[in-house]
Amino acid sequence: ASRFNPLKADAHWQKIWEERGSFHASDDSAKPKSYVLEMFPYPSGRIHMGHVRNYTMGDVLARYRRMKGFEVLHPMGWDAFGMPAENAAMEKKVHPGEWTRSNIATMRAQLKRLGFALDWSRELATCEPDYYGHEQALFLDLYEAGLVYRKQSEVNWDPVDMTVLANEQVIDGRGWRSGALVERRKLSQWFLKITDFAEELLDGLDDLEQWPDKVRLMQENWIGKSQGLRFRFRLGEPVAGAEEFEVFTTRPDTIFGASFAAISPDHPIAAALAEGNEALAAFIKECKAGGTTAAALETAEKKGFDTGATVVHPFDPEWRLPLYVANFVLMDYGTGAVFGCPAHDQRDLDFARKYGLPVTRVVAATVDEADEAIGEEAYSGPGLLVNSRFLDGLPAADGIREVIHRAEEEGWGEGTTVWRLRDWGVSRQRYWGTPIPIIHCEACGPVPVPRDQLPVVLPEDVSFDIPGNPLDRHPSWAKASCPSCGGPARRETDTLDTFVDSSWYFIRFASQPDDEPFDKAVAESWLPVGQYIGGVEHAILHLLYARFWTRALKRIGRLDIDEPFKGLFTQGMVTHETYRAADGRWLSPDEVEERDGGLVETETGQPVETGRIEKMSKSKKNTVDPEPIVEQYGADAVRWFMLSDSPPERDLAWSEAGIEGAWRFVQRLWRMSEEGGSSSTWLGGGEDIALDRKLHQTIASVAVNIESLAFNKAVANIYALANAIEKAPPSASRSAALETLLLLVAPMVPHLAEEAWAALGREGLIADQAWPEANPALLVEDQVTIAVQVNGKLRDTITAPKGAPRETVEEMALTSEKIVRVLEGKAPRKVIVVPDRLVNLVA
């Protein structure tokens, strides 16, 4: 037997697929269409194992669907704008474009080396004008439709990177890259009106049945629809003419547990009270120095300032609550003011303990527990209202309705719906992004760049010697004349958030004419994406933005699709053991080796401590570069291992043993296919019913498992079939099973499958074959027990597949050892077979 040589075979078949355009998706195919997409990579430098796993999964599905008769669109491209390219420019003095394009070249070659069934003719990179120019056109479409606006807004300012940070780039109040304490600043920013779509985006989640529940829930929470009450607190004494201010609460039922009121440091009343109160003014200033994000505020210590002012309880004119300015009250949420109920809100409880405010329980599991003290933890669960006057005894949910009702009746408040979702600020003070196609004229204000002047192309000659935005300080780029009045004007120097680029790339993959972003009819023929696969880290923002963008395009009549991604799958990570030297240094897997049964650092011979299995990351040095592994074992073994060990939604621990095992299985498949090569009875079968059954059950279950992305189960099905084939004696069934096995593994180990297919002398590419049909008659597993009688006396029982033919059962009975003995080796005079029940032999 020869060995399968992946180094030769991989390149050979990849070339053939490419020459034949095997994986080009045809827009006008008569076949049903299927769009399989994995989240496109950021060209950071090299492919990592996470990419390999992600793209292998998508590839198996894409290849399978082709075999099932679909016209499959399976494209690849590059999410190519973003900060790392600029950081590289600053650190390595290489132009962001050059850095990005050379990374793309490397990574493209690495992906090709894995033999993915991709339509490379549709490759795109978001950093090229032939992509972002169309994005600019879409931006202007939305602008004209009133879905884009500009406003002064407070941003997170990173004083070291000299840039605005998105909320998620602020970690514990510090810039995610620089680590500098984030400040607040006001800037004019462009916003997309995603809040206009809040209701649709929320309701649409109900229809996304093929999305993981956890992702739908994350989106739901992010959109954050809540019912509540806005009501007015009367001030004990007017403040600068104001007699009252509004608060927002989602728990009006807890109104009798209120022990203080609090307003944001940015609240106008806070500003009024601070006049002539230096301590308060200083407190407000201190609050403003922190980050603006909810997350930053959540982790920051809760602090307040007792203003000395009071408010009147809405249900009791005699009841006064102290008024605080508190750092945890956000100005741009609700009304920027709250009442605090320490017993039932943890933040309020921490606050109350700190400032010695009363804690009154107003919700309890039973009325008997009304006086049970609140300890360290606020109670936010359900229950009955207590210590609440006219609300006593009501379930909390009814209490909400009752208080809203009374407030509306008495005229001091109204029930409302409030959304957590904010409009999407898309301005970035960065070079390496899509230029915002706007020109600022002193006379006319912001004016859209005329369509015939698109794309607005980034200048090449920029310097990164000092931080900040190179577009801003470029000597000529920003100079323009106003499209409207012809007067002197200046280009917008902000670029778009890179999330905009990834909000519509899947549409451009589906259709990419030169003169417009996409052709409506062609795009609609492919969309929505049937199966989208990617990391759960994109569960909120990327998916929400893409959903928004799709709905916005629908609203302006450009694309008649509601949801961009019909099926979503979030795969687990690739993990690896971590290693540490005695002095605490992290060591990479190739810096350690086994000696005398223990791990040592190769260079020093010192013992190594094996740490936890963790996500592969540069910081822990536990990454394994796929490229040398592919060179050593071939693409198929790597692909097989990526699919085999863990359920795809779980983490996969990379191991030497795992890849070795995959390699052995690939070789085993090769040996089996070589010995099975003599059969000409293609899918004939019929000689070995048990094996036929096993085969057809495997055809069916592999299909089901690939369709539901349970790749590890499909792999297990294939192992079981391979074992059954190896145990079976030669027969037409066995030959047929061997060939079919190749079809079943073709989506997973496509190079080996092609090579074996060709070695068998079969016509055409295996990639172009139809998926085998499972014979339903062979899928019924049922075995029956059949009594064997000799002259009417029970002598033995045999088990046979239900519905087995007469001759098969007769043969089984006559070859039974017991029967042979009873008949003393003679043939019976007569054989009566009652199918599935009985064989009677007359001696």
Known binding-site residues equal 618
- 443 binds, options Zn ion, ligand ANZ, none, Cβ within 5 to 8 A by partner type: Zn ion
Using CB under 6 A as the binding rule, the residues of this chain from 202 to 241 that contact ligand ANZ are: 226
Query: What residues from 621 to 660 belong to the interface with Zn ion (CB under 5 A)?
Result: none
- Phi, psi angle pair for 824, to nearest 5°: 50, 40
Least distance to Zn ion from the beta carbon of 478, Å?
15
Residue written as tokens 């400032």?
A: 355
Q: Which is nearer to ligand ANZ, 35 or 328 (CB)?
A: 328
Q: Is 126 in the site for ligand ANZ (CB under 6 A)?
A: no
Q: Which amino acid is at 34?
A: S
Q: Are the C-beta atoms of residues 357 and 259 closer than 8 Å to each other?
A: yes
Count the Cβ atoms, other than its own, within 10 Å of residue 454.
Answer: 20
- The site for Zn ion, by CB under 5 A, has a size of 7
Applying CB under 5 A, the span of 27-35, 433-441, 466-474, 834-842 interacting with Zn ion comes to: 433-441
State the DSSP H helix or E strand holding residue 586, giving kind and residue range, or none if neither. Answer: strand 586-587
Q: Which does 482 bind (CB under 5 to 8 A by kind): ligand ANZ, Zn ion, none?
A: Zn ion
Residue 302 lies near ligand ANZ (rule: CB under 6 A):
no
Structure tokens at 159: 């004083």
- Name the residue among 565, 673, 575, 560 with its Cα closest to residue 622: 575
The most distant pair of C-alpha atoms in the chain lies apart, rounded to whole Å, by: 120
Site size for ligand ANZ (CB under 6 A): 17
The pattern of x and - marking residues 322 through 361 that bind ligand ANZ according to CB under 6 A reads: ------xxx--xx-x-xx-x--xx----------------
Closest CA relative to residue 88, chosen from 80, 97, 79 = 97
What's the closest the beta carbon of residue 489 comes to Zn ion, in angstroms?
A: 6
Candidates 280, 385, 482, 753; binder of Zn ion (CB under 5 A) is 482
Q: Smaller CB distance to ligand ANZ: residue 145 or 374?
A: 374
From the list ligand ANZ, Zn ion, none, which binds 484 (C-beta under 5 to 8 Å, kind-based)? Answer: Zn ion
Residue 338 interface partner, choices Zn ion, ligand ANZ, none, CB cut-off 5-8 Å depending on type: ligand ANZ
Contacted entry of ligand ANZ, Zn ion, none for residue 374, CB cut-off 5 to 8 Å set by kind = none
**3-state SS track over 165-184:** ECHHHEECCEECCCCCECEE
Helix H or strand E segment including 206? none
The values of phi and psi at residue 158, to 5°, are -90, 110
Q: In angstroms, how far is CA 330 from the centroid of its own chain?
A: 29
**Window 252-271: contact mask with ligand ANZ (x via CB under 6 A):** --x-----------------
Taking CB under 5 A as the criterion, the residue among 37, 255, 341, 441 binding Zn ion is 441
Shortest Å, Cβ 399 to ligand ANZ: 11
Q: How far is the CB of 259 from ligand ANZ (least distance, A)?
A: 11
Q: Does 812 bind Zn ion (CB under 5 A)?
A: no
CA 631 to centroid of chain Cα atoms: 30
Partner touching 441 among ligand ANZ, Zn ion, none, CB below 5 to 8 Å by kind = Zn ion
Per partner kind, with CB cut-offs from 5 to 8 A, the member of Zn ion, ligand ANZ, none near residue 344 is: ligand ANZ
- Residue 800 is a binding residue for Zn ion (CB under 5 A): no
Instruction: Please name the amino acid found at residue 262.
Output: A
Does position 388 bind ligand ANZ by CB under 6 A?
no
Please tell me the distance from the alpha carbon of residue 461 to that of residue 458, in angstroms, as a whole number: 9
Q: Residue 444: name its binding partner from Zn ion, ligand ANZ, none (Cβ under 5 to 8 Å by kind).
A: Zn ion
Non-local (6+) Cβ contacts of 707 within 8 A are 61, 64
Residue 343 or 800 with smaller CB distance to ligand ANZ: 343
Residue type, 283: F
Of 93 and 479, nearer to Zn ion (C-beta) is: 479
Looking at the Cβ atoms of 290 and 336, the one nearer to ligand ANZ is: 336
**Least distance CB 341 / ligand ANZ (angstroms):** 4
Q: How far is the CB of 291 from ligand ANZ (least distance, A)?
A: 14
Q: Say which residues have a Cβ less than 8 Å from residue 141's Cβ, sequence separation at least 6.
A: 556, 558
Q: Which helix (H) or strand (E) holds 557?
A: none
Q: Of the candidates 216, 251, 440, 734, which one interacts with ligand ANZ according to CB under 6 A?
A: 251
396 binds ligand ANZ (CB under 6 A): no
Q: Identify which of 122, 94, 128 has the alpha carbon closest to the alpha carbon of residue 433.
A: 128
- The DSSP line for 292-353 is -SHHHHHHSPP-EEEEEEEEEETTEEEEEEEEEEETT--TTSTTSEEEE-GGG-HHHHHHHH
488 binds Zn ion, rule: CB under 5 A? no
d(CA 68, CA 771): 5
Helix (H, G, I), strand (E, B) or coil at 122: helix
For ligand ANZ, give the closer residue by CB, 115 or 336. Answer: 336
Least distance in angstroms from the C-beta of 214 to ligand ANZ: 19
Contact criterion met (CB below 8 Å) for 651 and 616: no
The answer to whether residues 446 and 483 touch, using CB atoms and an 8 Å cutoff, is: no
Q: Which of 249, 293, 502, 673 binds ligand ANZ (CB under 6 A)?
A: 249
The rounded distance, in Å, linking the Cα atoms of 721 and 669 is: 11
Task: Say which residue the tokens 């293609």 belong to.
Answer: 682
Give the separation between CA 586 and CA 390, rounded to whole angstroms: 64
Q: Detail the residues annotated as belonging to a binding site for ATP.
A: 618
> Based on CB atoms, which residue is closest to ligand ANZ, 226 or 610?
226
Check residue 480 for interaction with Zn ion (CB under 5 A): no
Q: Which does 254 bind (CB under 5 to 8 A by kind): ligand ANZ, Zn ion, none?
A: ligand ANZ
The alpha carbon torsion through 386, 387, 389, 392 (nearest 10 deg) reads 10
Q: Which of 94, 137, 444, 759 binds Zn ion (CB under 5 A)?
A: 444
Stretch that binds Zn ion, among 33-41, 297-305, 355-363, 444-452 (CB under 5 A): 444-452
Residue 251: contacted member of ligand ANZ, Zn ion, none (CB under 5 to 8 Å, by partner type)? ligand ANZ
Cα–Cα nearest to 426, from 437, 417, 418: 437
CA dist., res. 454 & res. 445, Å (int): 20
Contact between 485 and Zn ion by CB under 5 A: the answer reads yes
Q: Cα–Cα distance between 798 and 814 in angstroms, integer?
A: 11
Residues found near Zn ion in the complex (CB under 5 A)? 441, 443-444, 482, 484-485, 487
Residues found near ligand ANZ in the complex (CB under 6 A)? 226, 248-251, 254, 328-330, 333-334, 336, 338-339, 341, 344-345
